[in-house]
Amino acid sequence: MSLSKKYLTSIADLDEKEIMNLISQAIDFKRNKDSSKYNKSLTGKTLALMFEKPSTRTRLSFETAMFQLGGNTIYFNFNDLQLSRGESIQDTAKTISLYADCLVARVYSHNTIVELAQNCKIPVINGLSDLFHPCQILADLMTILEHKNRFKGLTLAWIGDGNNVCNDLLIGCAKMGITIRAAIPEGYEPPRKILELVTHESKLKKSDFMIVREPIDAVENADIVVTDTFVSIGKENEDNKRRSAFIPKYQVNRELMSSSKDDAIFMHCLPAKRGEEVTSDVIDGENSLVWDEAENRLHVQKSLLVSLLV
């Protein structure tokens, strides 16, 4: 399969059919992870990883994906590049395009991703920016489909900060027809343009979207409960302010989960601050799918790379 755009800056770049095709292909990669079916899919291809932020899952999953598909990976952080000495993003993008077949960038400012996508002659994948995290949301949607066998008719509760993961998750769920109830404190909502897009997509799919202030109003009878750290990378200077805004009211604990459906699943992109946004008995509980999500990063990224490069 191929994608209509040769970049992925946000889940908004994909339509419903493309998301489903990527997930279906990822499920096949997962089923055949120990076979030789795909081990030469990207032979001769080089993936550049350009990281401004620290990473565990994104770096490991992309490097492993390329290795298992027969390709090669080059990793560098911003301090390794002439960017740190004043070279422009535009010139850097054009240079990387000469040597690599695809670029994954993990950056502070989403504007950097946009500039890279505009100036690279190779596919560019957003490995996380301050606004979006599309690879994580593809893994989340794959995990939901694996365990719920559908999207339409489900209700997802987001609890916490309107951050980059929240932004793309709301967009992705709206595109797939999932009803969304997001419990977010006043002043921490996603940007207006994102809320308008989510509202528009929800209306097209005849699902509902609402922001509430009380976590119980979001979680009641929900099929899926999702949270993330209250202090994202780059927000450390707001640590005390954010803790007072979110803790303990927006913590996902056993009491809050008891208001969701009996078979509700809990999800978190990781890393988790145990005892802050989620308690250990929830993240380690039988309804938690955090490790499925983490594994599925590998499979959806294989699917994405093959779709962009083959």
Task: Encode 56-122 in three state secondary structure.
Answer: CHHHHHHHHHHHHCCCEEEEEEHHHCHHHHCCCHHHHHHHHHHHCCEEEEECCCHHHHHHHHHHCCC
Model pTM? 0.97
User: Over the chain, what is the mean pLDDT?
Assistant: 97
The verdict on whether 228 is a catalytic residue reads yes
Which pLDDT does position 186 carry in this prediction? 97
The answer to whether 7-133+294-309 and 136-292 have equal CATH topology is yes
Eight-class DSSP state of 36: S
Catalytic residue among 110, 181, 242, 297: 297
Task: Please name the amino acid found at residue 209.
Answer: F
From the list 57, 102, 120, 136, the catalytic residue is 136
Collapsed DSSP state (helix, strand, coil) of residue 20 = helix
For residues 122-141, give the mean pLDDT: 99
Long-range contacts of 40-44 (CB under 8 A, 24+ apart): 40/69, 40/70, 41/69, 41/70, 41/306, 41/310, 42/66, 42/69, 42/70, 42/71, 42/305, 42/306, 42/309, 42/310, 43/70, 43/71, 44/70, 44/71
Catalytic residue from among 120, 135, 166, 269: 269
Question: What proportion of the chain, given as a percentage, has pLDDT over 90?
Answer: 94
The letter for the amino acid at 254 is R
- Extract the tokens encoding 231: 């202090």
pLDDT attached to residue 34: 84
Q: How sure is the predictor about 2, in pLDDT bands with cuts at 50, 70 and 90?
A: confident
Domain ranges for the chain: 7-133+294-309, 136-292
Q: Say whether the peptide bond before residue 271 is cis (omega within 30 degrees of 0).
A: yes
- Per the omega criterion (within 30 degrees of 0), is the bond before 248 cis? yes
Summarised one tens digit per residue, pLDDT across range 253-310 is: 999 999 999 999 999 999 999 999 999 999 999 999 999 999 999 999 999 999 999 9
Once rounded to an integer, what is the mean pLDDT over residues 209-220? 99
Helix (H) / strand (E) containing 265? strand 265-268
| pLDDT score recorded for residue 50 | 98
CATH match for 7-133+294-309 among 3.90.870.40, 3.30.200.20, 3.40.50.1370, 3.40.50.300? 3.40.50.1370
| Confidence band of 35 (pLDDT split at 50, 70, 90) | confident
Q: What is the pLDDT confidence band of residue 73, given thresholds at 50, 70 and 90?
A: very high
**Of residues 13, 25, 101, 106, which has the active-site annotation?**
106
Residue 233, pLDDT score? 86
Instruction: Tell me what pLDDT residue 75 has.
Output: 98
Q: Give the whole-angstrom CA distance, residue 143 versus residue 208.
A: 21
* DSSP, residue by residue, 173-198: HHHTT-EEEEE--TT-PPPHHHHHHH
pLDDT tens sequence across 82-93: 988 899 999 999
In this prediction, residue 235 carries a pLDDT of 86
Q: Which of 13, 130, 168, 228 is catalytic?
A: 228
- Is 262 known to be catalytic? no
Report pLDDT for 84: 84
Of 207, 149, 167, 133, give the one whose Cα is nearest residue 23: 149
Q: Can 133 be counted among the known catalytic residues?
A: yes
Cα–Cα distance list, 247 to 150, 226, 253 (Å): 33, 16, 12
**Cα dihedral sign, 301-140-7-163:** negative
pLDDT band at 103 (very low <50, low <70, confident <90, very high): very high
The domain made up of 136-292 is a member of CATH 3.40.50.1370: yes
How much is the pLDDT for 234?
86
Q: Which residues contact 210 (CB under 8 A, 6 or more apart)?
A: 180, 181, 182
Q: What is the pLDDT of residue 254?
A: 98
Query: Of 25, 101, 130, 133, which residue is the catalytic one?
Result: 133
Confidence of residue 100 (pLDDT cuts 50, 70, 90): very high
Does the pLDDT value for residue 1 go beyond 80? Answer: no
Euclidean distance between CA atoms 9 and 96, whole angstroms? 18
- Tokens 């990793």 -> residue: 75
For position 85, what pLDDT does the model report? 86
Q: Is 106 a catalytic residue?
A: yes
